[in-house]
Structure formats: structure tokens, C-alpha cells
């Protein structure tokens, strides 16, 4: 396998809870010159190489010219890397509960060896994406904070972080909905559903981890509600806050509450990753009227420390 070059790869990591608008933010940032959307890159081994689900361009992953070129550049072809091994390694080490081990991997030699192996392959993957996509910044909307803690250990990566946060009640309610995934051609798949209390606890823990990450790496906090109401201002604030080039003139794809999205090569995310063309920006606050009162009270009780911290009304 090829050694990473000395040039560092800038990775803009979008972290937080699922159903917070990360795919939308990923896609909008990917419209900026030099920015390259990859979606939830941590899923590339499972959803891409193994399951061969659709890329954001609409082609099955293994038929996509972009990802074929990335595999060739990184490994001499996807067949030269053991995707099952990578999926297994990721499942063993990339967990939010293992963040303390990522910060002090010497405590467990076996974990350290697995971590080194996994990040070695990731370094080659990120480098190949940068080279093939001629990217100034790679956008990774994997969301799970532990993935960012892994990526920050790679010497060839220059990590920048966006903490995307949405009202916990909106997140918890969204996870109760049944949403079909359109990226599986030969079978009917749906996104996972979870109980609101489980998602509230997950939201709280991820917020805490993102706070720790924000103390270690350059970061910007973005509210989902702000992003939808003022997409242009949010994108400029992210670019400025993370010292990434983006002129106001490059945001012509945002106009009158609509964003116009072009083709992309995201490997996983919300179904809107497959959307090409104008997309109205509408704030999803269905939870305010449709969420059962008991669920709303319980979720508020669990999430109140971070609701207060990030300015949401309790």
C-alpha cells in the first residue's frame, strides 16, 4: 500500500447527533469551491465496499468512477484492502465509550495495535480522496464524535470541527419516524428508529464529547435552526471560523430560502444526499405539535443541561 504524502489533508468533520441536519450541511458546504462532500465516511467499508449501496451520484458504489479512482489511488484497488477487517476494526474501536482509550491508547496494548492499523488505512483513504478530488477540504459528516477522535490521531490530517446541534426534542422525535432509504436498489431498507429517551441520552453524551473535542481542535458551533434560517451566513461563519477560504460570491447557490445542490459522491447519509437541483430550506419543528407530551417532558428532563448551555428554552 502507498505511503501518505507529506502534504497534510484538511478534514472538516461535522459532529453531533443524528437527524440534526448534517447531510444538508455537508451538501451545502460541498458546493463551495475546493470543498468535497463525502457523507458519513466511517460507513464506507460497510455501506460502500461491502454492501455496494448507491453513491450520492446515483451509481452503485463499486460502479462510481470517483470511488473507483480513490480505491486505485489509495490501495491499488478496493480488492487490495480487506473491507471486512476494516469493518470489524471499526466496530471494535470506533465507539463513543472508547474515547478515553483514544486519548491514552497506551493503557491497552491490544487496543493501541488495532487503533494504529485502522488509522493507517484511514490516512491512505483521506489522502487519496484529496488527490482524486483535488480538494482543499474534505467534508466528513460521520457525526459520531469518536470518529473525530480517531481522525485527529492521524499525523497527515489537519482536522477542523463543526459541532452541529439541534434541539434534543426535535432529534428525539425525528428518530421515531419511519424513513425509507432510497440507496438500496434490490431491497427495501429503512433508517433505524429509537425510543425518544434513548436518543435524548445519546444526544447529551455526544454534546459532552463534542465539547471535549472543541477544546482540542479548531471548531465552530452551529445550530440546526440557525442553519436553515440563514444558510448563507452559517456557511460563511463556518469558513471564517475554521480559516477555510470561501468568498461570499461563491454562495450564489443559496438564494431566497432555497439551496441548489449539484452532483456529489457521498457514501452515506440522509436521503437528501441523492437530491440534485433546487431544495427549499424549511425548518422541521413538527415535534412541537406532534410529539406526545410525556415524551416531550421526559426528553427535556434528560437534555436540560445542554439545552441551557446552548441556549434552547427548557
Query: Is a pLDDT exceeding 50 seen at residue 1?
Result: no
What percent of the chain clears pLDDT 70, i.e. is strictly above it? 95
pTM summary value: 0.94
Domain-located, residue 260: yes
Domain-located, residue 2: no
Domain-located, residue 282: yes
Average pLDDT on 97-102 reads: 91
- For residue 43, give the nearest of 139, 113, 142, 138 by alpha carbon: 142
DSSP per-residue letters across 291-303:
S-HHHHHHHHHHH
**Which structural domain range is residue 157 located in?**
9-309
Q: State phi, psi for 229 to the nearest 5 degrees.
A: -70, -35
Domain-located, residue 230: yes
What does the pLDDT look like over 120-146, one tens digit per residue? 999 999 999 999 999 999 999 999 999
Could you tell me if 25 and 225 are in contact, meaning their C-beta atoms sit under 8 angstroms apart? no
What does the pLDDT look like over 21-79, one tens digit per residue? 999 999 999 999 999 999 999 999 999 999 999 999 999 999 999 999 999 999 999 99
What percent of the chain clears pLDDT 90, i.e. is strictly above it? 86
- Per-residue pLDDT, 184: 66
- Per-residue pLDDT, 241: 95
- Per-residue pLDDT, 57: 95
Number of domains in the chain: 1
User: Which residue has 502534504 as its cell numbers?
Assistant: 7
- Per-residue pLDDT, 148: 98
CATH number at residue 123: 3.40.50.300
What does the pLDDT look like over 232-255, one tens digit per residue? 999 999 999 999 988 888 999 999
Could you tell me if 302 and 204 are in contact, meaning their C-beta atoms sit under 8 angstroms apart? yes
Lowest mean pLDDT among 61-70, 90-99, 177-186: 177-186
What is the rounded average pLDDT for all residues in the chain?
93
Domain-located, residue 194: yes
Q: State phi, psi for 31 to the nearest 5 degrees.
A: -80, -15
Domain-located, residue 1: no
Residue 306 host element (H or E): helix 293-309
Lowest mean pLDDT among 6-10, 122-126, 205-209: 6-10
Taking the C-alpha atoms of residue 201 and residue 116, their distance in angstroms, rounded to an integer, is 30
Average pLDDT on 212-241 reads: 97
Could you tell me if 258 and 279 are in contact, meaning their C-beta atoms sit under 8 angstroms apart? yes
Other beta carbons less than 10 A from residue 125's beta carbon: 24
Domain-located, residue 129: yes
Domain-located, residue 296: yes
Query: Is a pLDDT exceeding 80 seen at residue 189?
Result: no
Most distant CA pair in the chain, distance = 56
Amino acid at each position: 500500500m502507498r505511503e501518505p504524502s507529506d502534504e497534510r489533508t484538511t478534514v472538516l468533520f461535522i459532529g453531533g447527533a443524528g437527524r440534526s441536519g448534517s447531510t444538508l450541511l455537508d451538501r451545502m458546504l460541498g458546493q463551495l469551491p475546493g470543498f468535497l462532500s463525502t457523507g458519513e465516511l466511517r460507513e464506507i467499508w460497510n455501506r460502500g465496499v461491502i454492501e455496494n449501496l448507491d453513491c450520492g451520484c446515483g451509481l452503485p458504489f463499486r460502479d462510481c468512477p470517483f470511488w473507483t479512482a480513490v480505491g486505485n489511488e489509495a490501495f491499488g484497488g478496493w480488492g487490495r484492502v480487506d473491507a471486512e477487517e476494516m469493518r470489524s476494526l471499526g466496530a471494535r474501536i470506533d465507539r463513543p465509550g472508547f474515547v478515553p482509550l483514544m486519548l491514552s491508547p497506551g493503557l491497552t496494548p491490544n487496543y493501541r495495535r488495532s487503533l494504529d492499523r485502522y488509522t493507517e488505512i484511514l490516512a491512505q483513504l483521506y489522502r487519496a480522496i484529496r488527490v482524486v478530488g483535488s480538494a482543499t477540504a474534505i467534508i466528513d459528516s460521520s457525526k459520531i464524535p469518536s470518529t473525530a477522535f480517531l481522525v485527529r490521531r492521524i499525523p497527515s490530517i489537519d482536522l477542523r470541527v463543526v459541532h452541529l446541534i439541534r434541539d434534543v426534542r426535535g432529534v428525539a422525535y425525528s428518530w421515531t419516524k419511519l424513513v425509507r432509504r432510497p440507496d438500496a436498489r434490490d431491497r427495501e431498507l429503512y433508517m433505524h428508529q429509537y425510543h425518544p429517551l434513548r436518543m435524548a441520552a445519546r444526544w447529551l453524551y455526544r454534546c459532552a464529547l463534542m465539547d471535549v473535542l472543541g477544546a482540542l481542535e479548531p471548531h465552530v458551533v452551529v445550530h440546526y435552526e440557525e442553519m436553515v434560517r440563514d444558510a448563507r451566513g452559517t456557511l460563511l461563519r463556518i469558513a471564517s471560523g475554521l480559516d477555510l477560504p470561501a468568498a461570499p460570491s461563491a454562495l450564489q447557490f443559496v438564494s431566497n430560502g432555497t439551496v441548489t445542490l449539484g452532483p456529489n459522491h457521498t457514501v452515506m447519509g440522509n436521503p437528501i444526499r441523492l437530491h440534485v437541483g433546487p431544495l427549499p430550506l424549511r425548518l422541521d419543528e413538527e415535534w412541537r405539535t406532534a410529539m406526545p407530551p410525556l415524551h416531550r417532558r421526559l426528553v427535556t428532563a434528560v437534555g436540560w443541561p445542554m439545552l441551557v448551555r446552548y441556549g434552547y428554552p427548557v
